[in-house]
A and B are shown apart, each in its own frame.
Chain A
Amino acid sequence: MDETEIAVRDLAIGYGGLALLKNINFTVGRSEIFIIMGESGSGKSTLLKAMIGLKKPAGGRILYGTMDLWGAGPDERERLMRRFGVLYQNGALWTSMTLAENVSLPLEQHTDLSRGEIRDTVALKLALVGLAGFENFYPAELSGGMARRAGLARAMALDPDILFFDEPSAGLDPVNARMLDNLILRIRDSIGSTFVVVTHELASIFSIGDNSVYLDADSGTITAAGHPKVLLAQSEDRKVRNFLTRGNEKSYAADRGN
């Protein structure tokens, strides 16, 4: 990849005095789809929270270009966060608002667009994720896959440079999960955003990932990094290969007595 978008340096994250992650180092290139993978409980989502400005790390830096997310003042951080779009695990749509209101709220808060322009933008974003005409639906009236796509429309409301996904395909059927993967690829190819995707869905990892890191739950740090397919073929780490083969790494399984 040509340019570095995000650089994570010596990051450490703790929960109530307990070190959860340490020595986290990686870089994400511009327009890359970057996968953060690992077993449940390895701290993937926590790392994501630190990267989007919701959880202050215990140490280290997260650089966006030359700007240090957590070293910056609150106003600067706020400005930087304007460049992010986040899709939460279950969409996290605001349940008391319609889809149109969900997508338009960030636009109302942060842009000077007129009502008509906002309406058109909302319609466009919903159409992009295949939800044209669903403006007046409430989140409770949607299926899981639709809610996830609506969350993506909201995440893209402000045309972010970087989109973060927290387990986008968790709990979705294979068809809807695939649809979401294709959506991610199409968006990247058309507007060139950078994607950081936290997931443990192997199908997604292999079909969309340009680059990845593997978070190890036991050591609390990154034990492998690279293109997922390359990792599968060449990784020296049996635990990583076991993860990428859905627990089929024979030598590793034998050690654990299965």
Chain B
Amino acid sequence: MDEAVKKGEMSVSAPTDETAVIQLTGRWKRSAGLPGAGEALGILESRPLLRKVSFNTAGITEWDSSLLTFFLRIRHSLEIKGVVAEADGLPDGARRLLRMAAAVPERPGARAEAEPAGVRQESFLSRVGGGAISLSGAVEEAVAFIGEAALGFFALVRGRGAFRPADVYSFVQGAGVQALPIVSVIGMLVGSIFAFMGAIQLRTFGAQIYVADLVGIAMVRVMGAVMTGVIMAGRTGAAYAAQLGAMQVNEEIDALRTFGISPVEFLVAPRVIALTLMMPFLCVYADFMGILGGLIVGAGMLDLSAASYIAETRSTLDLTNLWIGLFHSFVFGIIISLTGCLRGMQCGRSASAVGDAATSAVVTAIVWMVIATAAITYLCDLMGI
């Protein structure tokens, strides 16, 4: 390789005690493996009498902004010690770029604001206080939203809401019929998983037939509703958050407000009604698919006859179980649709905010569904059902 196109190299010479010359040669490009500014600074800082540093770049063949950052780091570090670094020896273009960068002075305070929040040391107390304030704000917002949604619902029931029947119809379709395939698959698989798990234990006692009881009660009482809820939170709740979030970004919600149309009545109420209406139906369907899954495993692997499996299921299930399951799904429907819409309405004004809203809608809905399930289970226990 020719001497001239070798990678960038640096040497420091000192004509007098007060001056130094940094000689740069070769190819000063980011990819070429350059000597760091620290190396030069190490040499320069060992000279206490130094007042002025100049550059000799006559031997440089090519350069990019790494030459500028090299120079700026040296100048910045030396400035503090009262040493002047002169740009005169840099290539013409580089000097022009430096002048351009210095043309508009740095805005005071801009740098401090740009620091990541984590860098700033905050006391434990102020963090706890800040957290509490933002929590109370979030609770207030959520309560206000639920109140507004309830008012919107009543307005709708009284026939005075701003919604369009066609909207409810299309949401019912989206949250109902179109969800059937995924609910079928998940419901059936969950039923068969229960059957497998139960079978391993029950077979040791020769009590395989009770697999039907296990699957039937588990699915109908709670699992059908929970699995449907999880599916719908990921599918429809996230979609609601993304739809309303995108409308927020696009100022469509502002446009509704300026026409005096309540976004909660017009956008939220029909979604909540559609999903809350459809959830119990989906739940019953998931129950049925779960029992079917259990039946397939029972009849196929456990040598139970289909007739005896069905008879056992019928004898063990009563309406109480079904009502409890339906109640779960009804509550889940409200939770999923409200959290989806709330997160959508709270969405910021950027594309990434829409993604955050959808994610947050799913997480919030699932957390509240688990809490609701625990509460309902406890209540059922108290009531002895």
Contact = CB atoms under 8 A, between A and B. Distances in A.
Interface stretch (B44-52, B251-259, B308-316, B359-367): B251-259
B250 A256 contact: no
B104 interface: yes
Given A109-B162, A257-B104, A258-B103, A89 B258 contact: no
B261 interface: yes
A54 B255 CA distance: 10
Contact of A105 (B103, B246, B261): B261
Contacts of B252: 92-95
Contact of A84 (B251, B258, B261): B258
Contact of A78 (B102, B104, B250, B260): B260
Contacts of A154: 255
Contact of A54 (B162, B250, B254): B254
A95 B250 CA distance: 9
A95 B252 CA distance: 8
Contacts of B255: 86, 88, 92-94, 154
Contact of B260 (A49, A81, A93, A94): A81
A92 to B, nearest CB: 4
A239 to B, nearest CB: 14
A156 to B, nearest CB: 12
A138 to B, nearest CB: 13
Contacts of A95: 246-247, 250, 252
B163 to A, nearest CB: 11
A84 B260 CA distance: 10
Interface string B135-170: 000000000000000000000000000100000000
Give the bracket for the number of chain B residues in contact with chain A: 10 to 19
A257 B254 CA distance: 41
Most buried by A among B102, B247, B251: B251
B177 to A, nearest CB: 19
A158 B255 CA distance: 14
Given A256-B104, A257-B104, A53 B250 contact: no
B63 to A, nearest CB: 24
Contacts of B102: 257
B9 to A, nearest CB: 34
A211 B312 CA distance: 84
A119 interface: no
Contacts of A93: 252, 255
A84 B246 CA distance: 24
A200 B247 CA distance: 25
A63 B259 CA distance: 19
Contact of A82 (B247, B256, B260): B260
Nearest to B261: A109
Given A257-B103, A257-B104, A88 B254 contact: yes
A130 interface: no
A54 B248 CA distance: 13
28 contacts: A53-B257, A53-B258, A54-B254, A54-B257, A54-B258, A78-B260, A84-B258, A86-B254, A88-B255, A92-B250, A92-B252, A92-B254, A93-B252, A93-B255, A94-B252, A94-B256, A106-B259, A106-B261, A109-B162, A109-B259, A110-B259, A110-B260, A158-B259, A256-B103, A256-B104, A257-B102, A257-B104, A258-B103
